[in-house]
Amino acid sequence: MNSIYHHIRVMPLTGVLGAEIEGADLTMPLPDPVFEEIEQAFTDHSVLVFRDQDMSIEDQKRFTRRFGEFGFEPYVDTMKEHPEVIEVLKEASESGMLNFGGNWHSDWSFQEAPPRATILHAKEIPPFGGDTCFASMYLAYDTLSDGMKAMLEGLNVMHSARRPYGVGNKLFGKFNRAMKIHNTEEAHAELAHPAVRTVPESGRKALFVNPVYSIRFENMSERESRPLLEFLHAHATRIELTCRVRWAPGTLTMWDNRCVQHNAMNDYDGYRRLLHRTTVRGERPWLEGRAPGGSGEREPALAQSAG
């Protein structure tokens, strides 16, 4: 696959997804031929890792904007001078507490137009631990039986932010944690997305459920939905469908949020971990040949993010 790249070096992390990229300086505006190859690598590998990038926040914002508009960031305070940026922070003093992103999920899947991509730049990293694991939802779909595929392609899933961000939820523990989390009534809203979606750039189908935000199947109760959702969650995150990224200061990792789930490991109590996060706005999830609420042809269309 490297033969198609002339300006960057693409080194796969595993045989299923992920690649490290060399030959791109993200602290500078990227020439179009270099950026086009990065876009191709993103389509090919879903997770890209760039090492030793001494980037400012403005550098990260410029790189993010090359992929599209910024996404909308609900329920978590962003940086005051940079409303597009979340400081993903766990202080050394926050021992025994949950970390932000510490469960398998797809970012903001409860939005009408969930992010196309998430981009994280590492600023302070513990001497061990804090890796991020990624799972391919392309392969999660591909490795299902034909019967299961056919059934899921006719179903919608209700997504909601209520589990982590709903009123009365104390999931994130102490009020004085480093990241400011907001629990609101708005988080209890539900929105339907297809259980299987098409990713426009690749044309491939990806399973689109996750254990944090996928509440139930449309027109079914949570109790009725639970056995199938639990099967899909376990199936989608099998180790053979994953890769793992070990961070270092200056590492930038980006992933296609439409066809990848991720899980931030929480195994570094007593150490500070800080990364800057931006997202790229995506399109409303769609499945080729099927409308969200029924049958019929449908073209991908952008929609305003819920929030």
Query: At residue 237, does pLDDT exceed 90?
Result: yes
Q: What is the C-alpha separation between 285 and 306, in angstroms, rounded?
A: 13
pLDDT score of 135: 98
Average pLDDT on 126-130 reads: 97
> Count of domains in the chain?
1
pLDDT for res 175: 47
- 242's tokens: 């994953």
> 40 lies in which domain range?
2-295
Is residue 195 included in any domain, yes or no? yes
Q: CA-to-CA distance for 238 and 224, rounded, in angstroms?
A: 24
Residues 100-111, mean pLDDT to the nearest whole number? 96
Residue 254 counted as domain residue: yes
> How does strand 252-256 pair with strand 47-50?
antiparallel
Cα separation values, 208 from 32, 115, 168, Å: 32, 13, 27
Tell me, yes or no, whether 301 lies in a domain: no
Query: C-alpha angle with apex 20: 19 to 24, nearest 5 degrees?
Result: 125
pLDDT tens string 64-76:
999 999 999 999 9
Q: Note the pLDDT tens digit of each residue in 197-212.
A: 999 999 999 999 999 9
- Which pairing describes strands 19-22 and 47-50: parallel, antiparallel, or unpaired? parallel
Q: Which residues are tagged catalytic?
A: 105, 107, 262, 277
Query: Does the residue 306 lie in any domain?
Result: no
Per-residue confidence band for 3, with pLDDT thresholds at 50, 70 and 90: low
Over residues 17-32, mean pLDDT: 98
Nearest to 141 by CA among 269, 57, 261: 261
96 belongs to a structural domain: yes
Label residue 293 exposed, middle or buried (CB < 10 Å: 0-12, 13-18, 19+). Answer: exposed
- The answer for residues whose C-beta is within 8 angstroms of residue 152's C-beta and 6 or more apart is 144, 195, 196, 207
Average pLDDT of the chain is: 92
How is residue 1 written in tokens? 């696959």
Asked if the structure places residue 228 within a domain, the reply is yes
Given CA atoms 29, 253, 43, 193 in this order, what sign does their dihedral have? negative
In the chain, % of residues over pLDDT 90:
87
pLDDT higher than 50, residue 305: no
Work out the average pLDDT over 249-257: 98
Q: Phi and psi at residue 278, in whole multiples of 5°?
A: -125, 160
- Checking if the pLDDT of 148 tops 50, the result is yes
CATH number of the domain at 276, please: 3.60.130.10
**Band of residue 171 on the pLDDT scale cut at 50, 70, 90:** low
SS3 123: strand
CA dihedral sign, ordered 106, 164, 294, 226? positive
d(CA 92, CA 203) in angstroms, rounded, equals 43
Q: Residue 172 — pLDDT band, cuts 50, 70, 90?
A: low
The answer to whether the beta carbons of residues 108 and 282 sit under 8 Å apart is no
259 domain-assigned: yes
- Considering the domain boundaries, does residue 305 fall inside one? no
pLDDT band at residue 290 using 50, 70 and 90 as cut-offs: confident
Mean pLDDT of 60-87: 97
